[in-house]
Structure 1
Amino acid sequence: MCRWLAYWGTPVLLDTILYRPTHSLIDQSLHSKLGVETTNGDGFGVGWYSAHNDTPALLRDVGPAWNNRNLRELADHVRSPLFFAHIRASTGTAVQQSNCHPFRYGRWMFMHNGAVEGFPVVRRDLTMLVAPGLYTNIEGTTDSEVMFYLALTYGLDEDPPGAVARMAGVVERVCREHGVEFPLQMTLALTDGERVWVFRYSSARASRSLFYSSRVDALRRLHPDLGFLQHVSGDTRLVVSEPLGDLPGAWNEVPENSYGVVQPGNDELHRFAPAAA
């Protein structure tokens, strides 16, 4: 499957979160500890927002993240308060740029780790449920991109958690009509550039790993010697497929079948369940 991270908070260089941690996403591309595969080398992508553009910028490539010189160069120069980064291990679809995460539509970004079981069989049925005005924007062949456009179809602009719940509901319904017992496995993140929503769910109630960082003020008390913590706001957050290091007290598991909202002020954590579309 894949590994990803979402960063929200004080503007930092991409290098700070992508390369510097002990078990960084770059390290995970070769040595994942909690993923289905140890190596995630079927492409990568990063997305970020700037102060002068509501539409996120993307860099995606089909090669592995660990030796991409353009990514290494970019990381030392791009600073943002919101980053998405993703390393891919294909579940069967082609290794091509249009299949690399994050996906973008307008101000929205979306990335995913997981799979729609039996996707080759249900792909046509699911794709035909995408709104006609959105359909022509689908460039790749992944289940993840179809999930994103289904969420857009079911009201992502107005109600992100509800739209993802309706997307999950229709994926499960269509798959079960084709005899798939446990259709959906997903840990996903989406953002409009202001807030980040993260979801952990699977039909079999055995979801892929997902963690969020502890509050910065608590980490400062635990680790007063870490200089990095002195320069970020108290509500800065990371959400990751697996921890970026073994710092005691730094990481908390996202509960099974739940979603969280990272936003100014108080973050939120709620139960998640698919809904009828």
Structure 2
Amino acid sequence: MCRWLAYSGSPVRLEDVVYKPDHSLIDQSLRARMGVETTNGDGFGMGWYTEDRHVPSIYRDIGPAWSNRNLRELAAAVSSGLFCAHIRASTGTPVQQTNCHPFRYRQWLWMHNGLINGYASVRRDLLLAVDPELFSGIEGTTDSELMFFLALSLGLEEDPPGAVERMVGLVERTARCHRIEYPVQMTIALSNGECLWAFRYSTERQSRSLFHSLDVQCLRDLHPDHELIQQASADARLVVSEPLGDLLEAWQEVPESSYTVVRRGGNEIRTFTPQSA
């Protein structure tokens, strides 16, 4: 599987979140604690928004994140108020740049941890369900990117949560035709540059881990001597595959079959229910 994080708040240098915490995403690329694999070295990527550019920038590569000097240089130079970062552990598709997350379409960024079980059996049927006008945008071979383009085909730009629910419903219906019992395992991060959505769901109801950070002012009161917390802006929010340090009280688990909506100044939790397309 994979590990990922998404940040929303006042602009910070990417390295402050991606590199500096005790159990940062870079540390997780070597020593993940809650993932299926301890090592996530099959590529990485970052996507970030800036005030002067509507379309997000992305940087992706196929090597391990822990040894990439260009990634370190970039993270130290770039500041953003909304960004995503992902480290990949392949579930069988090739290690190539077009298979690294995040995926981008216009102003949208998409990251995924999980898989479609029996993907080889359902891939053709699902590809045929992609809107023909969007099909040429698919560059790689992963189930993750295909899920993104299915959601785009099902109304993502008008109704992001509803489109993801319809996408999962379509995957589950297609998988049943192929007698696949538990097809969907996912945590997903999705953003349009203004809002961040993070989903946690699996057909089996045993989803991979996902957490969001608590209110910064509460954390400041609890940890007045913690430098990173004291420096964080009041509107800062993080959604992560696993906590970035040992302050477990700083994190709250996103419940099973739900999603969180993060906007500047706060977040809320809502129920996630797959729908008929």
Task: Say yes or no: TM over 0.5.
Answer: yes
- 1:249 positional shift: 1.6
The CA distance in 2 between the partners of 1:233 and 1:79, in whole Å, is: 14
The alignment covers a number of residue pairs equal to 277
Alignment partner, residue 245 of structure 2:
245
1:74 and 2:74 are equivalent in the alignment: yes
Query: Which amino acid letter does the alignment assign opposite residue 3 of structure 2?
Result: R
SS at match of 2:205: coil
Give the ranges of 4+ consecutive aligned residues of structure 1 lying more than 6 Å apart after TM superposition.
none
Matches within 5 A, 1:100-139: 100-139=100-139
The CA distance in 2 between the partners of 1:12 and 1:96, in whole Å, is: 29
Task: Write out per-residue CA displacement over residues 51-105 of structure 1, whole angstroms, 9 at most, x where no aligned residue.
Answer: 1101000000000000001001111100000110000000000000000000000
Flag structure 2 segments of 5+ consecutive residues without an equivalent.
Answer: none
- 1:233 positional shift: 2.7
Alignment partner, residue 92 of structure 1:
92
The CA distance in 2 between the partners of 1:248 and 1:94, in whole Å, is: 35
Query: Which amino acid letter does the alignment assign opposite residue 144 of structure 2?
Result: S
- 1:248 positional shift: 4.3
Query: Which amino acid letter does the alignment assign opposite residue 158 of structure 2?
Result: E
Cα pair 1:210 1:240 within 8 Å, conserved: yes
Structure 1 range deviating more: 224-233 or 234-243: 224-233
Cα pair 2:237 2:266 within 8 Å, conserved: no
Cα RMSD (Å) of the superposition? 0.9
Alignment partner, residue 262 of structure 2:
262
Matches within 5 A, 1:121-160: 121-160=121-160
Structure 1 range deviating more: 257-266 or 227-236: 227-236
Query: Which amino acid letter does the alignment assign opposite residue 251 of structure 2?
Result: W
The CA distance in 2 between the partners of 1:256 and 1:247, in whole Å, is: 22
Query: Which amino acid letter does the alignment assign opposite residue 160 of structure 2?
Result: P
Alignment partner, residue 20 of structure 1:
20
Structure 1 range deviating more: 77-86 or 266-275: 266-275
The CA distance in 2 between the partners of 1:247 and 1:269, in whole Å, is: 22
The CA distance in 1 between the partners of 2:7 and 2:50, in whole Å, is: 14
The CA distance in 1 between the partners of 2:48 and 2:79, in whole Å, is: 9
- 1:10 positional shift: 1.1
- 1:264 positional shift: 2.6
Alignment partner, residue 50 of structure 2:
50
SS at match of 1:92: coil
Query: Which amino acid letter does the alignment assign opposite residue 276 of structure 1?
Result: S
The CA distance in 2 between the partners of 1:276 and 1:183, in whole Å, is: 16
The CA distance in 2 between the partners of 1:24 and 1:104, in whole Å, is: 24
SS at match of 1:35: coil
Query: Which amino acid letter does the alignment assign opposite residue 179 of structure 1?
Result: R
Cα pair 1:222 1:249 within 8 Å, conserved: no
The CA distance in 2 between the partners of 1:255 and 1:144, in whole Å, is: 22
Cα pair 1:185 1:201 within 8 Å, conserved: yes
- 1:265 positional shift: 4.0
SS at match of 1:249: helix
Identity fraction in percent: 63
Alignment partner, residue 174 of structure 1:
174
Cα pair 1:8 1:81 within 8 Å, conserved: yes
Task: Write out per-residue CA displacement over residues 104-126 of structure 1, whole angstroms, 9 at most, x where no aligned residue.
Answer: 00000000000000001110100
Alignment partner, residue 60 of structure 1:
60
- 1:251 positional shift: 0.7
TM-score if structure 1 supplies the norm length? 0.98
The CA distance in 2 between the partners of 1:235 and 1:79, in whole Å, is: 16
Cα pair 2:49 2:82 within 8 Å, conserved: yes
